[in-house]
Structure 1
Amino acid sequence: MAKVLAWALSAAAVMIGTPALAQDEPRFCPTRPNLGGSSCTTEPGRVHVEMSALDWERDDQSDQREDRIVTADILTRLGVGKNTELQLEWVGYGRDRTRDKANETVDTVTGTGDVTFAIREHLAGQKGKPFSAGIQAFVTAPTGRYPVGAGTWSTGVIVPIQYELTEKIAIAVTGEADAAANQSGMGRHLSYSEITGVRYKFTDQITANAELSLERDDDPDQHETLALAALSAAWRPTKVVQFDILAAAGLNHAAPSLRLVTGGAILF
């Protein structure tokens, strides 16, 4: 009996003496639902899966109205190093409906979208430190039918920076420069943008973001500057599951009128 009691006390001492191992939280940092990017990478050997259950966008112009619905937009992130991850994104289904206001004709296109390959590197920032930065390079293959897909390949670089002002408030800036696909589906042009956002953490489970986006698109057919404002929120019922929603509105004539996105993420 004495030996059994001694063994039980020893086991309890080991469990009490090493609580950090049981309490270590996984690095769960979905990029969604923000418009901007993130420098956070997936831990080696683990996989993030992020998906848009529904992504609807309306673009009202003087001569036409376009509605686009995307579902099963799946992003898979694989940690391959301490600060490095690989990404694969595929748009499973899209439906684009364009109505010509002059003659009331309607053109509808459905199909799968493009595939994007990316690599993300976390450059600066540690847990508990306020500043973080990273870089992400990507290339998109034209596997989808235009206008659900771009019609030709494109590539670009994203640089996200974040600074935590307090435990609850953080500001983020994301710069991006792309060799974007021409609207004609042939060739590429320069497109660049900056997204500035503020994140507020209500609790460990609930966060909200407010963002402003300004993009310059030098498409040969039409040079445009697009301005957007967005609000988003995320809820994490567990440490490895997230549900989220985003609403964005155009601030000028060139930008899409409205966009609504719902979806979530899970860590394996």
Structure 2
Amino acid sequence: MRWMLAGLLTIVAAPAAAQDREYCPERPGLGTPACTISPGRVSVETALGDWTRDEDADQRSDTVLLGDTLMRIGLTDTIEAQIGFTPFGHVRTRDKLAGDIDSADRVGDAMLGFKANLKNPDGKGLSVAVHPFVTVPVGRSPVGAGDWGAGLVVPVTYDLSDALNFETTSEIDAAVDEDGRGRHVAFSETVGLGLALSKALTATAELQALRDDDPSGATTQMLAGVSLACVLGENLQIDAGANAGLNRDAPDMEVYLGVSRRF
């Protein structure tokens, strides 16, 4: 175990040098880019604030996440390790009929996984990757899922021109049941277009369909999202975005603000 830890630290501490490439955070947006982090580099990508509203005739639910973070560690030219964690979540639910209000402050779950790029790890041209992951139930409901889960993400991106990029992200999950016991199948497809407005600023528009076959009741969510990402220098990006539900099963609205930093 000691030699394995020493080897990992050596990889992380190694200079990026010739293998280094343009910074490519996973934030923002509904989809996932196919690019990977250069070996020896670390990317820390954090949602400074994320608010979701879900309302129907009976109740309204507001969820606020603070500090939701993904850390990506470049291991080889095409493989990166990933660790995700939600340190704080606040959920407030109001019953419109009775007037009762319930609120909870919780820690979220952790995610462990890796992404392996199969073509063009810098994300240029046609880029393809696979990203298997597991979720570890370190948090509690309603922010944490209550049990372990797993999934596989397959992102594909293609440069239509110097300024226009097409993206698609396919995902299938062993998602945790709503009651926190057991798992079921959930899958989604996300498509989007990214437009470079300038060398530093990129706008992205996306559509997502998500099918969740939870035993308590299957749902199909349709979402639309827009986001802006601004690169400041070679190793820093700030972003903002919003997602809107297009049908009854989807949350009404989500807005977020984040920052990504490469070390």
| TM-score, normalization by structure 2 | 0.91
One of 97, 102, 116 as aligned partner of 2:92: 97
- Letter of the 2:196 partner, please give it: K
Residue 50 of structure 2 corresponds to residue 55 of structure 1: yes
Residue 187 of structure 2 corresponds to residue 192 of structure 1: yes
Indicate conservation of the 8 Å contact 1:71/1:92, yes or no. yes
How far residue 203 of structure 1 moved from its aligned partner, in angstroms, is 1.4
Change (3 A) 1:160 1:23: closer
- Letter of the 1:90 partner, please give it: F
How far residue 25 of structure 1 moved from its aligned partner, in angstroms, is 6.5
125-134 or 42-51, which moves further after superposition?
A: 125-134
194-203 or 24-33, which moves further after superposition?
A: 24-33
Runs of 4+ in 1 over 3 A off after TM superposition: 22-27, 126-129
- Letter of the 2:166 partner, please give it: I
- Letter of the 1:266 partner, please give it: R
Match of 1:209 in 2: 204
How far residue 26 of structure 1 moved from its aligned partner, in angstroms, is 3.7
How far residue 118 of structure 1 moved from its aligned partner, in angstroms, is 1.0
Match of 1:267 in 2: 262
Indicate conservation of the 8 Å contact 1:25/1:239, yes or no. no
Match of 2:217 in 1: 222
Please list, as runs of the form range in 1=range in 2, the aligned pairs for 1:3-42 lying within 5 A after superposition: 26-42=21-37
Describe the SS at the equivalent of 1:54: strand
Indicate conservation of the 8 Å contact 2:54/2:252, yes or no. yes
- Letter of the 1:157 partner, please give it: L
Deviations 1:78-98 (A, max 9, x none): 011110000001101000011
- Letter of the 1:93 partner, please give it: F
One of 116, 120, 123 as aligned partner of 2:115: 120
Runs of 5+ unmatched residues, structure 1: 1-21
2:86, 2:19 → 1: CA distance?
Answer: 34
Match of 1:44 in 2: 39
Deviations 1:87-138 (A, max 9, x none): 0011010000111111111110102110000110001126595211000001
Match of 2:162 in 1: 167
2:55, 2:121 → 1: CA distance?
Answer: 44
Q: Which has the larger radius of gyration?
A: 1
- Letter of the 2:202 partner, please give it: T
Residue 253 of structure 2 corresponds to residue 258 of structure 1: yes
Identity over aligned pairs, percent:
39
Indicate conservation of the 8 Å contact 2:238/2:260, yes or no. yes
Describe the SS at the equivalent of 2:113: strand
1:127, 1:44 → 2: CA distance?
Answer: 12
How far residue 62 of structure 1 moved from its aligned partner, in angstroms, is 2.1
Match of 1:78 in 2: 73
Describe the SS at the equivalent of 2:134: strand
- Letter of the 1:135 partner, please give it: V
1:56, 1:241 → 2: CA distance?
Answer: 23
2:205, 2:235 → 1: CA distance?
Answer: 23
RMSD, aligned α-carbons: 1.7
Change (3 A) 1:197 1:80: same
2:198, 2:78 → 1: CA distance?
Answer: 27
Match of 1:109 in 2: 104
| TM-score, normalization by structure 1 | 0.89
Indicate conservation of the 8 Å contact 1:26/1:240, yes or no. no
Indicate conservation of the 8 Å contact 1:53/1:263, yes or no. yes
